[in-house]
Structure 1
Amino acid sequence: MACNIAVFGTGYLGATHAACMAELGHQVVGVDVDAAKVEKLSRGEAPFFEPGLDDLLKSNLDAGRLRFTSSYEEAAEFADAHFIGVATPQKRGEFGADLSFVDTVVCTLAPMLRRPAVILGKSTVPVGTAARLSAMVAELAPSDSIIEVAWNPEFLREGFAVQDTLTPDRIVLGVHAQSAGRAEALTREIYAKAIADGVPLVVTDRETAELVKTAANAFLATKISFINAMAELCEAAGADVSELADAIGYDARIGRRFLNAGIGFGGGCLPKDIRAFMARAGELGANQALTFLREVDSINMRRRTKMMETVRDIVGGSLIGTRVAVLGAAFKPDSDDIRDSPALNIAGQIQLQGASVSVYDPKAIENSRRLFPTLDYARDINDACDNADVTLVLTEWDDFKNLLPEDLDSVVRQRRIIDGRNCLDPAVWRSAGWIYRGVGRK
């Protein structure tokens, strides 16, 4: 059964969710105060790179199931379910999450809701947010309106967001114990296909649902920082972290995923989410429960400085006058997202040490240029590596993983490569006469 859905916020989360809800057969309106973004989406063009999303936008716009607007009034009159998919960035100068965008949506929407509706939060928020928003709705909405506030957290992986929305590994819904039950019934309608296909629906209280996303991100961040700490130990002991990860990954209790040592995690989720998690724990008087996340964060940030030191070491102790090729700018492959990107951070640090830095990324060049205008940006791999004294692989795009020494032998000035993602075969590069450095490898 088709539902009428509004999605507030058309950034990475909101635009993807709106397009996928339309793909499931629902009637969807995406809402954003940014008129330029609305216009671009209405042409079937996402304002960011995500595989498969442009095609999904165009097909559902053409089918008449999807449209975009800046009008809250239109959305309030149209929809039964109102998804909140706006950003919750880290507060400036603090660890906590900035919920101003979430609050603005609720404060603007609630007075316009004149028929029964469900507000479903998808944004990653500190525990207790849904209850606070529910109180806001009760105060701001018309007195005779029936509105439920529930939480349905997202679990998207950039590069796989369409797949993760259409075929999720689980659906989590947090509802108020004293609600009328409309939120659960409507959620079951919205995700009917996935539920029928066997995807688990976990219905819990709102506080638990809010914690699910932040707890999941904290666990993944901890796993990444753990293997990077092991990489530091392997380097000191002469061991190989990749072989170590393979060996412990066979243990079903541990698993191999997220045990890839490298320059650490970045992006718009893990770094700010674990910091907001720590901040909220402190507000609740449970700060000791998450003190370990400070070390998780510290290990992660240390990897960036360590990479800069490795570059300096491999070129003889000084970066002044050195030409450095940086392959990768996005925080991960199949994305143009440069938020808190380790690759760009490292490139900037190296430049500050006196090197000439040339950066190439298949999708993230324009975003990078806006954030780091002082770096040089290349049009392709060869352009970036032209006369390079050292080549760095910092994002594991397939184009970089598939590189062979002969591809660069005649391009670079010095045959030195640093594999910041451990995605190359050391034996291949060393046997071709290159100096190869990985992370935590022999």
Structure 2
Amino acid sequence: MAVIALKCPDIKVIVVDINQERIEAWNGPLDQLPVYEPGLAEVVEQARGRNLFFSMDIDKAIEDSEMIFMAVNTPTKTEGEGAGMAADLRYIEACAKNIAQVAQTDKIVVEKSTLPVRTAEKIKEILSEHGRDDVHFEILSNPEFLAEGTAIQDLFKSDRVLIGGDSNPTGKAAVNALVDVYARWIPKEKILKTNVWSSELAKLASNAMLAQRISSINSLSALCEKTGADIDELSKAIGMDHRIGNKFLKASVGFGGSCFQKDILNLVYLCKHFGLEEVAEYWHQVVKINDYQKNRFSQKIINHFGGDLKGKKIVFLGWAFKANTNDSRESAAIYVAEKLYNSGADLDIYDPMVSEDSIFRDVEFYWKVKPSIKNQTRIRVVNKVLVDDKIDAIAILTEWEDFKKIDFSDKIVFDGRNIIKHTEINHIGI
């Protein structure tokens, strides 16, 4: 929304949230924004207070708006039918109900969250049930295809903008209204118009295809280790084929983030729902290989020390799921750390952008432990890289550029991102 505000100075953009702390942070110092993303602070600086505003007054924003973007969380369900796979739509449904109850004039409602195909039907039902008879709602799907770490540039120079809407006159008018917004800076030939269902499914399919490439190269990394082949050389050889290309062919400890696993499991659930068991199993293997890779990396460290890590100090370099972001959701580091901790290791964790509070929140949530774990001595979050004689090994979990400059001489390094030259050190990579 900040980029829309920047590129369309005549359009007033209001970002609302029920979380007061988050809104205060968006209105606060630019170096303390709640999301770290290269270039984001500069965009906010230019637009905030001009035509970009952050507020908790949700009802007023609904009343004043012509177009409403729904960008709420859609986590994986933890209970009930589809638990562990299906998307939890309670926040989307609550958002739609709020819009319906407040709106006094016609609105274009845009699905921005990643949603299961045909979610728009449910949103329409809610808007119809709870809205005024004289208020018309038009539903569009406009999924985001940016990548964290390069989000601003991805928005400035999008490969494509996808807008799904109905084919009736009011649906076409709504689609064209959103096209006019993006056309301020995106060439029209890159703005694709589809039906709502194609747009909803395209986001899931896109993330699944990207994750599939990561799991494919990671599966081959295991074979390389057995045969003596070099996975980096293999990746280069494969990627030079113009039919394949070199994107997402970097072997690693596995993918993380809030999207890939969640969206693939959602896709698996949808396939099962429609009786496509073979298709469901195909996509489920992408997640299974990712779990296998994380476990394989962890087991390498454990096996290196004879199966017992008690009293061993392991330094973790990186906690974010990838470089250039402070997002650690579903990070591989979380799962590797848990396995090493349960095997007796002491952990020193360093990430230049993820805070100590965030790291311990991850530990509590994903490990399902009590907050008191923060008070014990076997896990420490440090504010600088500690590479000294008191450590037994180093595990690289995030590909931060600064980590490539560290002198790892005479250290045992488990490189989960294959970012350093293994000929120079005692290196155990993927």
Q: Which residue of 1 aligns with 2:371?
A: none
SS in 2 for 1:50: coil
Q: Which residue of 1 aligns with 2:420?
A: 424
Does the 8 Å contact 1:304/1:346 carry over to 2?
Answer: yes
Distance, in Å, in 1 between the alignment partners of 2:401 and 2:189 is: 31
Find 1:188's aligned residue among 153, 173, 179: 179
Moved more, 358-367 or 130-139: 130-139
User: What whole-Å deviation, never above 9, does each CA across 1:31-58 have from its counterpart, x for those lacking one?
Assistant: 1111221222122552122222223223
Q: Which residue of 2 aligns with 1:53?
A: 40
Distance, in Å, in 1 between the alignment partners of 2:70 and 2:37 is: 20
Q: Which residue of 2 aligns with 1:136?
A: 126
Give the letter aligned to residue 393 of structure 1.
Answer: I
SS in 2 for 1:274: helix
Q: Which residue of 1 aligns with 2:397?
A: 394
Distance, in Å, in 2 between the alignment partners of 1:290 and 1:385 is: 48
Q: Which residue of 2 aligns with 1:80?
A: 66
User: What whole-Å deviation, never above 9, does each CA across 1:86-105 have from its counterpart, x for those lacking one?
Assistant: 11111114211111111111
Does the 8 Å contact 2:161/2:191 carry over to 1?
Answer: yes
Superposed displacement of residue 370, structure 1: 2.6
Could you tell me which runs of 5 or more consecutive residues in structure 2 were left unpaired when the two chains were aligned: 364-373
Superposed displacement of residue 116, structure 1: 2.4
Alignment map for 1:16-95 (pairs within 5 Å): 18-24=1-7, 25=9, 26-43=11-28, 44=30, 45-62=32-49, 64-92=50-78, 93-95=83-85
Does the 8 Å contact 2:138/2:174 carry over to 1?
Answer: yes
Superposed displacement of residue 224, structure 1: 0.6
Q: Which residue of 1 aligns with 2:215?
A: 225
Superposed displacement of residue 385, structure 1: 5.0
Moved more, 113-122 or 148-157: 113-122
Q: Which residue of 2 aligns with 1:377?
A: 381
Superposed displacement of residue 283, structure 1: 1.8
Is 1:114 aligned to residue 94 of structure 2?
A: no
Superposed displacement of residue 71, structure 1: 2.1
Q: Which residue of 1 aligns with 2:279?
A: 289
Distance, in Å, in 1 between the alignment partners of 2:316 and 2:388 is: 8
Superposed displacement of residue 337, structure 1: 1.1
RMSD, matched Cα: 1.7
Give the letter aligned to residue 183 of structure 1.
Answer: A
Give 4+ residue runs of structure 1 displaced > 3 Å after superposition. none
Q: Which residue of 2 aligns with 1:331?
A: 321
Distance, in Å, in 1 between the alignment partners of 2:131 and 2:388 is: 59
Alignment map for 1:125-164 (pairs within 5 Å): 125-164=115-154
Is 1:99 aligned to residue 83 of structure 2?
A: no
Does the 8 Å contact 2:117/2:197 carry over to 1?
Answer: yes
Does the 8 Å contact 1:118/1:148 carry over to 2?
Answer: yes
Moved more, 97-106 or 139-148: 139-148
Moved more, 364-373 or 125-134: 364-373
Superposed displacement of residue 315, structure 1: 2.8
Superposed displacement of residue 132, structure 1: 1.8
Query: TM-score, normalised to structure 2's length?
Result: 0.91
SS in 2 for 1:193: coil
Distance, in Å, in 1 between the alignment partners of 2:84 and 2:341 is: 28
Does the 8 Å contact 1:358/1:385 carry over to 2?
Answer: no
Could you tell me which runs of 5 or more consecutive residues in structure 1 were left unpaired when the two chains were aligned: 1-17, 410-414, 430-434
Superposed displacement of residue 111, structure 1: 2.4
Distance, in Å, in 1 between the alignment partners of 2:388 and 2:334 is: 16
Superposed displacement of residue 199, structure 1: 5.5
